[in-house]
Structure 1
Protein backbone atom coordinates (compact mmCIF):
# COMPACT_ATOMS: atom_id res chain seq x y z
CA UNK A 1 0.00 0.00 0.00
CA UNK A 2 1.28 3.44 -0.80
CA UNK A 3 2.69 5.32 2.16
CA UNK A 4 0.25 7.74 3.71
CA UNK A 5 -2.84 6.39 1.93
CA UNK A 6 -5.37 4.60 4.10
CA UNK A 7 -8.35 2.59 2.97
CA UNK A 8 -11.19 1.55 5.23
CA UNK A 9 -12.03 -1.80 6.76
CA UNK A 10 -8.52 -2.91 7.77
CA UNK A 11 -10.09 -4.32 10.95
CA UNK A 12 -12.82 -6.48 9.41
CA UNK A 13 -10.55 -9.46 8.68
CA UNK A 14 -9.63 -9.94 12.36
CA UNK A 15 -12.64 -12.17 13.04
CA UNK A 16 -15.32 -13.79 10.91
CA UNK A 17 -18.26 -11.61 11.86
CA UNK A 18 -16.35 -8.33 12.19
CA UNK A 19 -17.88 -7.27 8.84
CA UNK A 20 -21.33 -6.90 10.37
CA UNK A 21 -22.47 -3.32 10.76
CA UNK A 22 -19.15 -1.90 9.53
CA UNK A 23 -20.05 -0.55 6.09
CA UNK A 24 -19.40 3.13 5.55
CA UNK A 25 -22.02 5.29 3.93
CA UNK A 26 -25.68 4.60 3.38
CA UNK A 27 -25.31 0.86 4.00
CA UNK A 28 -23.78 1.37 7.44
CA UNK A 29 -26.41 -0.49 9.47
CA UNK A 30 -26.15 -3.67 7.38
CA UNK A 31 -25.60 -6.70 9.63
CA UNK A 32 -26.07 -9.56 7.17
CA UNK A 33 -26.23 -12.93 8.92
CA UNK A 34 -24.49 -11.69 12.07
CA UNK A 35 -26.96 -13.30 14.45
CA UNK A 36 -27.31 -16.57 12.55
CA UNK A 37 -25.54 -19.90 12.32
CA UNK A 38 -22.66 -20.61 9.94
CA UNK A 39 -23.70 -22.36 6.73
CA UNK A 40 -20.92 -24.20 4.88
CA UNK A 41 -21.00 -24.39 1.08
CA UNK A 42 -19.47 -27.77 0.29
CA UNK A 43 -20.36 -28.18 -3.39
CA UNK A 44 -20.11 -26.13 -6.58
CA UNK A 45 -23.46 -27.54 -7.75
CA UNK A 46 -26.19 -25.09 -8.71
CA UNK A 47 -28.62 -26.47 -6.12
CA UNK A 48 -29.08 -29.12 -3.48
CA UNK A 49 -27.82 -29.55 0.09
CA UNK A 50 -24.48 -27.86 0.64
CA UNK A 51 -24.94 -25.51 -2.32
CA UNK A 52 -24.93 -21.71 -2.22
CA UNK A 53 -28.51 -21.58 -3.53
CA UNK A 54 -29.69 -23.96 -0.82
CA UNK A 55 -28.30 -21.65 1.88
CA UNK A 56 -29.48 -18.40 0.31
CA UNK A 57 -33.11 -19.53 0.13
CA UNK A 58 -33.32 -20.39 3.83
CA UNK A 59 -35.40 -17.89 5.77
CA UNK A 60 -33.29 -17.72 8.93
CA UNK A 61 -30.17 -15.53 9.31
CA UNK A 62 -27.02 -17.29 8.06
CA UNK A 63 -23.33 -16.49 7.70
CA UNK A 64 -22.43 -18.38 4.52
CA UNK A 65 -18.81 -19.52 4.03
CA UNK A 66 -17.17 -21.75 1.44
CA UNK A 67 -15.25 -25.00 1.90
CA UNK A 68 -14.53 -25.27 -1.84
CA UNK A 69 -13.05 -23.07 -4.55
CA UNK A 70 -14.10 -22.91 -8.18
CA UNK A 71 -16.91 -21.82 -10.49
CA UNK A 72 -20.62 -22.07 -9.72
CA UNK A 73 -22.64 -22.18 -12.95
CA UNK A 74 -26.01 -20.67 -12.09
CA UNK A 75 -28.87 -22.00 -14.22
CA UNK A 76 -31.33 -19.35 -13.02
CA UNK A 77 -31.28 -16.18 -10.93
CA UNK A 78 -30.09 -17.01 -7.42
CA UNK A 79 -32.48 -15.33 -4.98
CA UNK A 80 -30.95 -14.19 -1.70
CA UNK A 81 -33.25 -13.91 1.31
CA UNK A 82 -32.88 -11.45 4.17
CA UNK A 83 -30.18 -11.54 6.83
CA UNK A 84 -27.51 -13.33 4.84
CA UNK A 85 -23.75 -12.83 4.58
CA UNK A 86 -22.15 -14.49 1.55
CA UNK A 87 -18.51 -14.51 2.64
CA UNK A 88 -15.99 -15.64 0.04
CA UNK A 89 -12.89 -15.07 2.15
CA UNK A 90 -10.58 -18.07 2.29
CA UNK A 91 -11.64 -19.46 -1.10
CA UNK A 92 -11.92 -18.31 -4.71
CA UNK A 93 -15.51 -18.52 -5.88
CA UNK A 94 -16.69 -17.35 -9.29
CA UNK A 95 -20.39 -17.06 -10.17
CA UNK A 96 -21.30 -17.32 -13.84
CA UNK A 97 -24.29 -18.07 -16.08
CA UNK A 98 -26.75 -15.93 -14.13
CA UNK A 99 -26.47 -13.63 -11.10
CA UNK A 100 -27.73 -12.83 -7.62
CA UNK A 101 -31.21 -11.38 -7.17
CA UNK A 102 -31.98 -9.44 -4.00
CA UNK A 103 -35.75 -9.07 -4.10
CA UNK A 104 -37.70 -7.48 -1.23
CA UNK A 105 -34.95 -8.39 1.20
CA UNK A 106 -32.86 -6.59 3.80
CA UNK A 107 -29.52 -6.91 5.56
CA UNK A 108 -27.43 -8.73 2.96
CA UNK A 109 -23.62 -8.62 2.80
CA UNK A 110 -21.80 -9.95 -0.29
CA UNK A 111 -18.05 -10.17 0.19
CA UNK A 112 -14.99 -11.35 -1.78
CA UNK A 113 -16.60 -13.06 -4.78
CA UNK A 114 -16.03 -12.98 -8.54
CA UNK A 115 -18.81 -12.54 -11.11
CA UNK A 116 -18.16 -13.21 -14.79
CA UNK A 117 -19.99 -14.31 -17.90
CA UNK A 118 -23.70 -13.97 -17.13
CA UNK A 119 -25.91 -14.38 -20.19
CA UNK A 120 -29.59 -13.88 -20.99
CA UNK A 121 -32.28 -11.21 -20.93
CA UNK A 122 -32.18 -8.93 -17.86
CA UNK A 123 -29.23 -10.82 -16.38
CA UNK A 124 -27.19 -8.66 -14.01
CA UNK A 125 -24.38 -9.85 -11.78
CA UNK A 126 -26.21 -8.41 -8.76
CA UNK A 127 -29.79 -7.19 -9.13
CA UNK A 128 -31.28 -5.29 -6.21
CA UNK A 129 -35.04 -4.75 -6.68
CA UNK A 130 -37.72 -4.06 -5.59
CA UNK A 131 -37.88 -2.60 -2.09
CA UNK A 132 -34.63 -4.04 -0.77
CA UNK A 133 -32.57 -2.19 1.83
CA UNK A 134 -29.45 -2.39 3.96
CA UNK A 135 -27.17 -4.01 1.39
CA UNK A 136 -23.35 -4.04 1.39
CA UNK A 137 -21.29 -5.31 -1.57
CA UNK A 138 -17.60 -5.38 -0.68
CA UNK A 139 -14.39 -6.52 -2.37
CA UNK A 140 -15.96 -8.23 -5.39
CA UNK A 141 -14.67 -8.52 -8.97
CA UNK A 142 -17.36 -8.08 -11.62
CA UNK A 143 -17.14 -8.25 -15.42
CA UNK A 144 -18.74 -9.36 -18.69
CA UNK A 145 -22.47 -9.73 -18.01
CA UNK A 146 -25.28 -9.50 -20.56
CA UNK A 147 -26.95 -6.50 -18.91
CA UNK A 148 -25.63 -4.65 -15.87
CA UNK A 149 -23.07 -5.52 -13.27
CA UNK A 150 -25.04 -3.98 -10.40
CA UNK A 151 -28.60 -2.66 -10.85
CA UNK A 152 -30.31 -0.91 -7.92
CA UNK A 153 -33.90 0.00 -8.78
CA UNK A 154 -37.53 0.13 -7.66
CA UNK A 155 -37.20 1.85 -4.30
CA UNK A 156 -34.22 -0.14 -3.03
CA UNK A 157 -32.08 1.92 -0.68
CA UNK A 158 -29.36 2.15 1.96
CA UNK A 159 -26.75 0.43 -0.18
CA UNK A 160 -22.95 0.61 0.00
CA UNK A 161 -20.62 -0.69 -2.72
CA UNK A 162 -16.96 -0.69 -1.65
CA UNK A 163 -13.53 -1.96 -2.74
CA UNK A 164 -14.92 -3.56 -5.93
CA UNK A 165 -13.19 -3.95 -9.31
CA UNK A 166 -15.29 -3.53 -12.47
CA UNK A 167 -13.86 -4.41 -15.89
CA UNK A 168 -14.67 -5.63 -19.43
CA UNK A 169 -18.24 -4.36 -19.43
CA UNK A 170 -20.64 -1.80 -20.89
CA UNK A 171 -23.46 -0.86 -18.48
CA UNK A 172 -21.75 -0.97 -15.12
CA UNK A 173 -23.97 0.39 -12.29
CA UNK A 174 -27.55 1.62 -12.71
CA UNK A 175 -29.31 3.40 -9.85
CA UNK A 176 -32.95 4.10 -10.70
CA UNK A 177 -34.27 2.24 -13.71
CA UNK A 178 -37.16 4.32 -15.03
CA UNK A 179 -38.31 7.95 -14.88
CA UNK A 180 -41.86 6.69 -14.35
CA UNK A 181 -40.98 5.17 -10.96
CA UNK A 182 -41.13 8.28 -8.79
CA UNK A 183 -40.86 6.16 -5.65
CA UNK A 184 -37.14 5.95 -6.38
CA UNK A 185 -36.77 9.37 -4.74
CA UNK A 186 -36.19 7.41 -1.52
CA UNK A 187 -33.04 5.71 -2.84
CA UNK A 188 -29.64 6.36 -1.24
CA UNK A 189 -26.38 4.70 -2.33
CA UNK A 190 -22.70 5.08 -1.42
CA UNK A 191 -19.92 3.90 -3.76
CA UNK A 192 -16.36 4.19 -2.48
CA UNK A 193 -12.84 2.88 -3.01
CA UNK A 194 -13.84 1.11 -6.24
CA UNK A 195 -11.85 0.72 -9.48
CA UNK A 196 -13.76 1.19 -12.75
CA UNK A 197 -11.21 -0.28 -15.12
CA UNK A 198 -12.06 0.65 -18.70
CA UNK A 199 -15.78 -0.06 -18.37
CA UNK A 200 -17.84 1.84 -20.93
CA UNK A 201 -20.47 3.78 -18.96
CA UNK A 202 -22.60 4.03 -15.80
CA UNK A 203 -20.11 4.61 -13.00
CA UNK A 204 -22.95 5.06 -12.08
CA UNK A 205 -25.98 6.34 -14.03
CA UNK A 206 -28.51 7.76 -11.61
CA UNK A 207 -32.21 8.67 -11.63
CA UNK A 208 -33.87 10.27 -8.58
CA UNK A 209 -31.45 8.87 -5.98
CA UNK A 210 -28.96 10.53 -3.68
CA UNK A 211 -25.50 9.04 -4.36
CA UNK A 212 -22.20 9.65 -2.58
CA UNK A 213 -19.07 8.74 -4.56
CA UNK A 214 -15.69 8.99 -2.86
CA UNK A 215 -12.14 7.77 -3.43
CA UNK A 216 -13.01 5.81 -6.58
CA UNK A 217 -10.75 5.52 -9.63
CA UNK A 218 -12.46 5.58 -13.03
CA UNK A 219 -10.36 5.31 -16.18
CA UNK A 220 -10.74 5.01 -19.95
CA UNK A 221 -14.54 5.03 -20.14
CA UNK A 222 -16.20 4.62 -23.52
CA UNK A 223 -19.07 7.14 -23.22
CA UNK A 224 -18.94 8.91 -19.84
CA UNK A 225 -17.87 8.28 -16.26
CA UNK A 226 -20.87 9.47 -14.22
CA UNK A 227 -24.36 10.37 -15.47
CA UNK A 228 -27.00 12.40 -13.64
CA UNK A 229 -30.58 12.22 -14.85
CA UNK A 230 -34.01 13.16 -13.57
CA UNK A 231 -33.81 14.73 -10.07
CA UNK A 232 -30.70 12.76 -9.08
CA UNK A 233 -28.21 14.24 -6.62
CA UNK A 234 -24.61 13.02 -6.90
CA UNK A 235 -21.87 14.09 -4.49
CA UNK A 236 -18.51 13.24 -6.10
CA UNK A 237 -15.75 13.60 -3.51
CA UNK A 238 -12.01 13.03 -3.98
CA UNK A 239 -12.40 10.64 -6.92
CA UNK A 240 -9.88 10.13 -9.73
CA UNK A 241 -11.12 10.47 -13.31
CA UNK A 242 -8.61 9.54 -16.03
CA UNK A 243 -10.01 9.72 -19.56
CA UNK A 244 -8.98 7.78 -22.62
CA UNK A 245 -10.43 8.93 -25.95
CA UNK A 246 -13.65 10.27 -24.40
CA UNK A 247 -12.55 13.26 -22.36
CA UNK A 248 -15.69 14.39 -20.50
CA UNK A 249 -16.31 12.72 -17.14
CA UNK A 250 -19.77 13.98 -16.15
CA UNK A 251 -22.86 13.65 -18.35
CA UNK A 252 -26.35 15.05 -17.82
CA UNK A 253 -29.55 13.65 -19.33
CA UNK A 254 -33.03 15.15 -19.12
CA UNK A 255 -36.13 13.05 -18.48
CA UNK A 256 -39.63 13.77 -17.21
CA UNK A 257 -40.71 12.29 -13.92
CA UNK A 258 -44.16 10.74 -14.20
CA UNK A 259 -45.66 13.22 -11.72
CA UNK A 260 -44.11 16.36 -13.24
CA UNK A 261 -44.96 18.50 -16.25
CA UNK A 262 -41.43 19.42 -17.29
CA UNK A 263 -38.30 17.43 -18.05
CA UNK A 264 -35.31 17.94 -15.80
CA UNK A 265 -31.81 16.65 -15.27
CA UNK A 266 -29.85 15.82 -12.14
CA UNK A 267 -27.21 17.58 -10.08
CA UNK A 268 -23.52 16.74 -9.56
CA UNK A 269 -21.37 18.35 -6.88
CA UNK A 270 -17.61 17.81 -7.32
CA UNK A 271 -15.36 18.29 -4.30
CA UNK A 272 -11.65 17.51 -4.45
CA UNK A 273 -11.89 15.35 -7.58
CA UNK A 274 -8.73 14.79 -9.64
CA UNK A 275 -9.04 14.97 -13.44
CA UNK A 276 -6.00 13.45 -15.21
CA UNK A 277 -4.62 13.35 -18.76
CA UNK A 278 -6.75 16.10 -20.24
CA UNK A 279 -10.00 14.96 -18.65
CA UNK A 280 -12.72 17.62 -18.68
CA UNK A 281 -15.21 17.50 -15.85
CA UNK A 282 -18.24 18.59 -17.89
CA UNK A 283 -19.62 19.91 -14.61
CA UNK A 284 -22.70 22.16 -14.77
CA UNK A 285 -23.87 24.57 -12.12
CA UNK A 286 -26.83 23.19 -10.13
CA UNK A 287 -30.19 24.63 -11.12
CA UNK A 288 -31.44 27.44 -8.93
CA UNK A 289 -34.39 25.28 -7.88
CA UNK A 290 -32.23 22.34 -6.77
CA UNK A 291 -30.92 21.80 -3.24
CA UNK A 292 -28.01 19.33 -3.44
CA UNK A 293 -27.55 17.06 -0.45
CA UNK A 294 -24.37 16.69 1.58
CA UNK A 295 -23.46 13.24 2.96
CA UNK A 296 -23.12 14.53 6.52
CA UNK A 297 -26.87 15.05 6.55
CA UNK A 298 -27.10 11.24 6.74
CA UNK A 299 -23.86 9.97 8.31
CA UNK A 300 -21.03 11.68 10.13
CA UNK A 301 -17.96 9.51 9.54
CA UNK A 302 -16.39 8.12 6.38
CA UNK A 303 -12.79 7.40 5.34
CA UNK A 304 -11.84 9.83 2.60
CA UNK A 305 -8.33 10.89 1.57
CA UNK A 306 -7.17 13.34 -1.11
CA UNK A 307 -7.32 12.11 -4.71
CA UNK A 308 -3.66 11.44 -5.58
CA UNK A 309 -1.53 9.10 -7.66
CA UNK A 310 -0.83 7.18 -4.44
CA UNK A 311 -4.55 6.51 -4.04
CA UNK A 312 -4.75 5.48 -7.69
CA UNK A 313 -2.01 2.89 -7.12
CA UNK A 314 -3.75 1.50 -4.04
CA UNK A 315 -7.09 1.13 -5.83
CA UNK A 316 -5.47 -0.73 -8.73
CA UNK A 317 -4.12 -3.37 -6.36
CA UNK A 318 -6.50 -3.54 -3.40
CA UNK A 319 -9.92 -3.74 -5.05
CA UNK A 320 -11.88 -6.78 -6.15
CA UNK A 321 -11.49 -10.37 -4.97
CA UNK A 322 -8.49 -10.78 -2.69
CA UNK A 323 -6.54 -13.86 -1.65
CA UNK A 324 -7.19 -13.44 2.06
CA UNK A 325 -7.76 -16.21 4.60
CA UNK A 326 -11.10 -16.75 6.22
CA UNK A 327 -10.90 -15.12 9.64
CA UNK A 328 -11.42 -17.22 12.74
CA UNK A 329 -14.82 -17.23 14.36
CA UNK A 330 -18.01 -19.13 15.02
Structure 2
Protein backbone atom coordinates (compact mmCIF):
# COMPACT_ATOMS: atom_id res chain seq x y z
CA UNK A 1 0.00 0.00 0.00
CA UNK A 2 1.53 3.30 -1.05
CA UNK A 3 1.73 6.24 1.34
CA UNK A 4 0.12 9.56 0.62
CA UNK A 5 2.75 12.12 -0.40
CA UNK A 6 1.80 14.47 2.43
CA UNK A 7 1.03 11.90 5.13
CA UNK A 8 3.76 13.04 7.51
CA UNK A 9 2.27 16.51 8.02
CA UNK A 10 -1.23 15.12 8.60
CA UNK A 11 -0.27 12.28 10.94
CA UNK A 12 -1.61 14.35 13.82
CA UNK A 13 -2.92 17.88 14.24
CA UNK A 14 0.30 19.66 15.15
CA UNK A 15 2.58 17.61 12.92
CA UNK A 16 2.06 20.39 10.38
CA UNK A 17 4.29 22.80 12.30
CA UNK A 18 7.86 23.01 11.11
CA UNK A 19 7.21 20.84 8.03
CA UNK A 20 7.37 23.53 5.35
CA UNK A 21 10.01 23.21 2.66
CA UNK A 22 12.17 26.06 1.49
CA UNK A 23 12.54 29.54 2.89
CA UNK A 24 9.50 29.26 5.18
CA UNK A 25 10.68 26.04 6.76
CA UNK A 26 11.13 27.55 10.23
CA UNK A 27 7.47 28.59 10.53
CA UNK A 28 5.90 26.97 13.59
CA UNK A 29 2.65 28.92 13.78
CA UNK A 30 0.80 28.34 17.04
CA UNK A 31 2.63 25.13 17.89
CA UNK A 32 3.22 26.08 21.52
CA UNK A 33 -0.22 27.55 22.15
CA UNK A 34 -3.60 26.06 23.04
CA UNK A 35 -6.34 25.19 20.57
CA UNK A 36 -8.77 27.94 19.67
CA UNK A 37 -12.08 26.65 18.28
CA UNK A 38 -13.91 28.73 15.68
CA UNK A 39 -17.57 28.05 16.42
CA UNK A 40 -19.26 30.72 14.32
CA UNK A 41 -19.12 32.02 10.76
CA UNK A 42 -19.68 35.57 12.01
CA UNK A 43 -17.17 38.23 10.98
CA UNK A 44 -16.37 39.10 14.59
CA UNK A 45 -17.28 38.29 18.15
CA UNK A 46 -16.68 35.37 20.53
CA UNK A 47 -15.72 32.17 18.75
CA UNK A 48 -14.99 33.95 15.46
CA UNK A 49 -11.87 33.63 13.33
CA UNK A 50 -11.17 37.34 13.73
CA UNK A 51 -11.31 37.07 17.51
CA UNK A 52 -8.74 34.27 17.48
CA UNK A 53 -6.39 35.97 15.02
CA UNK A 54 -6.24 39.23 16.97
CA UNK A 55 -5.18 37.61 20.23
CA UNK A 56 -1.55 38.11 21.15
CA UNK A 57 -0.78 34.66 22.54
CA UNK A 58 0.20 31.68 20.35
CA UNK A 59 -2.89 29.78 19.15
CA UNK A 60 -3.64 26.79 16.97
CA UNK A 61 -6.94 27.79 15.36
CA UNK A 62 -9.29 25.02 14.22
CA UNK A 63 -12.86 25.11 12.92
CA UNK A 64 -15.95 23.45 14.34
CA UNK A 65 -18.06 24.80 11.46
CA UNK A 66 -17.95 24.84 7.67
CA UNK A 67 -19.16 27.61 5.38
CA UNK A 68 -18.53 31.17 4.26
CA UNK A 69 -17.04 33.89 6.44
CA UNK A 70 -17.74 37.26 4.85
CA UNK A 71 -15.14 39.77 6.02
CA UNK A 72 -16.17 43.42 6.17
CA UNK A 73 -12.54 44.54 6.55
CA UNK A 74 -9.08 43.02 6.38
CA UNK A 75 -8.58 40.33 9.00
CA UNK A 76 -5.28 41.04 10.76
CA UNK A 77 -3.34 37.97 11.84
CA UNK A 78 -0.97 38.34 14.79
CA UNK A 79 2.22 36.36 15.39
CA UNK A 80 2.39 32.68 16.30
CA UNK A 81 -0.90 31.61 14.78
CA UNK A 82 -1.88 28.52 12.84
CA UNK A 83 -5.15 28.86 10.92
CA UNK A 84 -5.91 25.22 10.24
CA UNK A 85 -8.89 24.56 7.98
CA UNK A 86 -8.31 20.82 7.65
CA UNK A 87 -11.43 18.78 8.25
CA UNK A 88 -13.80 21.62 7.32
CA UNK A 89 -14.48 23.77 4.27
CA UNK A 90 -13.97 27.44 5.06
CA UNK A 91 -14.28 30.16 2.44
CA UNK A 92 -13.29 33.78 3.12
CA UNK A 93 -15.00 36.44 1.00
CA UNK A 94 -15.26 40.23 0.93
CA UNK A 95 -11.73 40.99 2.13
CA UNK A 96 -8.61 38.96 2.86
CA UNK A 97 -6.02 38.24 5.51
CA UNK A 98 -3.38 40.81 6.41
CA UNK A 99 -0.09 39.69 7.93
CA UNK A 100 1.43 42.91 9.20
CA UNK A 101 4.68 42.95 11.19
CA UNK A 102 4.13 39.41 12.38
CA UNK A 103 6.07 36.16 12.42
CA UNK A 104 5.47 32.42 12.56
CA UNK A 105 2.10 32.15 10.84
CA UNK A 106 0.77 29.01 9.12
CA UNK A 107 -2.35 29.17 6.94
CA UNK A 108 -3.67 25.83 5.75
CA UNK A 109 -6.67 24.55 3.78
CA UNK A 110 -8.69 27.74 3.32
CA UNK A 111 -10.51 29.13 0.30
CA UNK A 112 -10.33 32.80 -0.68
CA UNK A 113 -12.81 34.21 -3.18
CA UNK A 114 -14.47 37.47 -4.15
CA UNK A 115 -12.39 40.12 -2.39
CA UNK A 116 -13.62 43.60 -3.24
CA UNK A 117 -12.13 47.07 -2.89
CA UNK A 118 -8.92 48.93 -3.74
CA UNK A 119 -5.73 47.21 -2.56
CA UNK A 120 -7.69 44.13 -1.45
CA UNK A 121 -5.54 41.00 -1.69
CA UNK A 122 -6.42 37.47 -0.70
CA UNK A 123 -3.38 37.35 1.58
CA UNK A 124 -1.37 40.54 2.05
CA UNK A 125 2.02 40.11 3.70
CA UNK A 126 3.61 43.46 4.60
CA UNK A 127 5.61 45.01 6.17
CA UNK A 128 8.41 43.19 7.98
CA UNK A 129 6.69 39.82 8.38
CA UNK A 130 8.66 36.57 8.37
CA UNK A 131 8.47 32.81 8.81
CA UNK A 132 5.18 32.34 6.97
CA UNK A 133 3.79 29.16 5.41
CA UNK A 134 0.69 29.13 3.17
CA UNK A 135 -0.31 25.58 2.33
CA UNK A 136 -3.13 23.90 0.39
CA UNK A 137 -5.23 27.01 -0.11
CA UNK A 138 -7.45 27.97 -3.04
CA UNK A 139 -7.50 31.61 -4.15
CA UNK A 140 -9.50 33.35 -6.88
CA UNK A 141 -11.19 36.57 -7.97
CA UNK A 142 -9.86 39.44 -5.85
CA UNK A 143 -9.76 43.07 -6.95
CA UNK A 144 -5.99 43.34 -6.44
CA UNK A 145 -3.61 40.42 -5.87
CA UNK A 146 -4.17 36.92 -4.60
CA UNK A 147 -0.95 36.91 -2.56
CA UNK A 148 1.27 39.99 -2.24
CA UNK A 149 4.60 39.86 -0.41
CA UNK A 150 6.26 43.25 -0.01
CA UNK A 151 8.00 45.73 2.30
CA UNK A 152 10.83 43.53 3.60
CA UNK A 153 8.69 40.49 4.40
CA UNK A 154 10.74 37.33 4.04
CA UNK A 155 11.27 33.61 4.68
CA UNK A 156 7.96 32.53 3.20
CA UNK A 157 6.79 29.29 1.58
CA UNK A 158 3.68 28.89 -0.58
CA UNK A 159 2.88 25.27 -1.33
CA UNK A 160 0.18 23.16 -2.98
CA UNK A 161 -2.13 26.11 -3.63
CA UNK A 162 -4.58 26.57 -6.49
CA UNK A 163 -4.82 29.98 -8.17
CA UNK A 164 -7.58 30.68 -10.70
CA UNK A 165 -9.92 33.29 -12.23
CA UNK A 166 -7.61 36.23 -11.61
CA UNK A 167 -5.41 38.87 -13.24
CA UNK A 168 -2.48 39.94 -11.03
CA UNK A 169 -1.82 36.73 -9.17
CA UNK A 170 1.26 37.17 -6.99
CA UNK A 171 3.52 40.19 -6.45
CA UNK A 172 6.85 39.82 -4.65
CA UNK A 173 8.56 43.17 -4.04
CA UNK A 174 6.61 46.41 -3.92
CA UNK A 175 8.15 48.77 -6.48
CA UNK A 176 11.60 49.92 -7.63
CA UNK A 177 11.92 52.47 -4.82
CA UNK A 178 11.64 49.84 -2.05
CA UNK A 179 15.24 48.67 -1.90
CA UNK A 180 14.55 47.12 1.51
CA UNK A 181 12.87 44.31 -0.40
CA UNK A 182 16.32 42.93 -1.22
CA UNK A 183 15.92 40.75 1.88
CA UNK A 184 12.84 38.94 0.54
CA UNK A 185 13.14 35.15 0.15
CA UNK A 186 10.18 33.07 -1.05
CA UNK A 187 9.71 29.43 -2.04
CA UNK A 188 6.76 28.45 -4.26
CA UNK A 189 6.26 24.76 -4.93
CA UNK A 190 3.62 22.29 -6.10
CA UNK A 191 1.20 25.11 -6.95
CA UNK A 192 -1.31 25.19 -9.82
CA UNK A 193 -1.69 28.50 -11.65
CA UNK A 194 -4.85 27.71 -13.57
CA UNK A 195 -5.53 30.21 -16.34
CA UNK A 196 -4.56 33.23 -14.27
CA UNK A 197 -3.44 36.16 -16.41
CA UNK A 198 -0.02 37.18 -15.07
CA UNK A 199 2.37 37.32 -12.08
CA UNK A 200 3.18 33.69 -11.35
CA UNK A 201 4.93 35.51 -9.74
CA UNK A 202 6.24 38.98 -10.59
CA UNK A 203 9.41 39.67 -8.63
CA UNK A 204 11.38 42.78 -7.69
CA UNK A 205 14.58 42.53 -5.64
CA UNK A 206 13.72 39.25 -3.91
CA UNK A 207 15.10 35.74 -4.21
CA UNK A 208 12.46 33.22 -5.33
CA UNK A 209 12.71 29.46 -5.77
CA UNK A 210 10.02 27.93 -7.98
CA UNK A 211 9.78 24.16 -8.28
CA UNK A 212 7.23 21.53 -9.27
CA UNK A 213 4.59 24.11 -10.19
CA UNK A 214 2.13 23.82 -13.07
CA UNK A 215 1.19 27.01 -14.92
CA UNK A 216 -1.16 26.95 -17.89
CA UNK A 217 -3.10 29.27 -20.20
CA UNK A 218 -1.75 32.55 -18.84
CA UNK A 219 -2.93 35.78 -20.44
CA UNK A 220 0.25 37.92 -20.64
CA UNK A 221 3.24 36.01 -19.24
CA UNK A 222 3.93 33.32 -16.67
CA UNK A 223 6.87 34.68 -14.64
CA UNK A 224 8.29 38.20 -14.64
CA UNK A 225 11.60 39.37 -13.18
CA UNK A 226 12.75 42.95 -12.72
CA UNK A 227 15.02 45.16 -10.56
CA UNK A 228 17.73 42.89 -9.14
CA UNK A 229 15.43 39.90 -8.70
CA UNK A 230 16.76 36.35 -8.59
CA UNK A 231 14.50 33.51 -9.72
CA UNK A 232 15.48 29.85 -9.72
CA UNK A 233 12.94 27.86 -11.74
CA UNK A 234 13.30 24.12 -11.34
CA UNK A 235 11.14 21.26 -12.65
CA UNK A 236 8.11 23.42 -13.46
CA UNK A 237 5.59 22.87 -16.26
CA UNK A 238 4.53 25.84 -18.40
CA UNK A 239 1.70 25.00 -20.78
CA UNK A 240 1.06 27.99 -23.01
CA UNK A 241 -2.28 28.92 -24.50
CA UNK A 242 -2.52 31.78 -26.99
CA UNK A 243 0.21 33.71 -25.17
CA UNK A 244 3.62 32.09 -25.54
CA UNK A 245 5.83 34.27 -23.30
CA UNK A 246 6.63 32.15 -20.27
CA UNK A 247 9.47 34.24 -18.82
CA UNK A 248 9.69 37.98 -19.10
CA UNK A 249 12.28 40.48 -17.92
CA UNK A 250 10.91 43.97 -17.37
CA UNK A 251 13.35 46.86 -17.14
CA UNK A 252 12.38 49.37 -14.48
CA UNK A 253 14.31 52.45 -13.44
CA UNK A 254 14.94 53.19 -9.79
CA UNK A 255 14.03 56.76 -8.89
CA UNK A 256 17.16 57.66 -6.94
CA UNK A 257 15.93 61.19 -6.28
CA UNK A 258 12.90 59.72 -4.52
CA UNK A 259 15.15 57.41 -2.51
CA UNK A 260 17.32 60.33 -1.38
CA UNK A 261 14.30 62.38 -0.37
CA UNK A 262 12.67 59.53 1.54
CA UNK A 263 15.95 58.50 3.19
Paired residues of 1:181 and 1:258 also in contact (CA < 8 A): no
Matches within 5 A, 1:23-42: 23-42=20-39
Superposition pairs for residues 289-308 of structure 1, below 5 Å?
A: none
Are 2:173 and 1:185 aligned?
no
Task: Confirm whether residue 146 of structure 1 aligns to residue 162 of structure 2.
Answer: no
User: 2:15 matched to which residue of 1?
Assistant: 18
CA offset digits 1:205-252 (Å, max 9, x no partner): 000000000000000000000000100000000000000000110011
After the TM superposition, which residues 235-250 of structure 1 pair with which residues of structure 2 at under 5 Å, given as runs?
A: 235-250=232-247
User: Structure 1 residue 233 and structure 2 residue 230: aligned?
Assistant: yes
Bigger Rg, which one? 1
Unpaired runs of 5+ residues, structure 2, are 258-263
Bigger RCO of structures 1 and 2 (CA < 8 A, at least 6 apart): 1
Structure 1 moving runs of 4+ over 6 Å? none
Q: Is 1:48 paired with 2:73?
A: no
User: What is the match of residue 164 of structure 2?
Assistant: 167
Aligned-partner SS, 1:201? coil
Q: TM-score, normalised by structure 1?
A: 0.76
Partner of 1:112: 109
**Unpaired runs of 5+ in structure 1?**
261-330
Return the match for 2:199 from 198, 202, 205: 202
**Once the 2 structures are TM-superposed, how far is the Cα of residue 94 of structure 1 from its aligned partner?**
0.1
- Give the superposition deviation at 1:9: 3.2
CA distance in 1 between partners of 2:35 and 2:235 (Å): 38
The aligned counterpart of 2:250 is: 253
- Aligned equivalent of 1:296: none
Determine whether 1:76 maps to 2:73: yes
Counterpart CA distance in 1 for 2:17 and 2:204 is 29
Q: Distance in 1 between matches of 2:49 and 2:254?
A: 39
Matched, 1:136 2:150: no
Alpha-carbon deviation of 1:8? 5.4
Aligned length: 256
Contact 1:182–1:257 under 8 Å retained in 2: no
Structure 2: distance between partners of 1:101 and 1:144: 17
- 8 A contact 1:197–1:220 mirrored in 2: yes
Trace 1:216-227 onto structure 2 (pairs within 5 A): 216-227=213-224
Q: CA shift at 1:257, angstroms?
A: 3.1
Contact 1:131/1:155 (8 A) holds in 2: yes
Residue 267 of structure 1 is matched in structure 2 by none
Quote the offset at 1:113 in angstroms.
Answer: 0.4
Cα deviation for residue 10 of structure 1 reads: 2.7
Note closer, same or farther for the CA distance 1:184–1:258 as it changes in structure 2 (3 Å cut).
farther
**Could you state the TM-score of these two structures normalised by the residue count of structure 2?**
0.95
Q: Aligned partners of 1:10, 1:230: CA distance in 2, in Å?
A: 39
Distance in 2 separating the partners of 1:9 and 1:24: 12
Change (3 A) 1:7 1:166: farther
2:8 alignment partner, SS class: coil
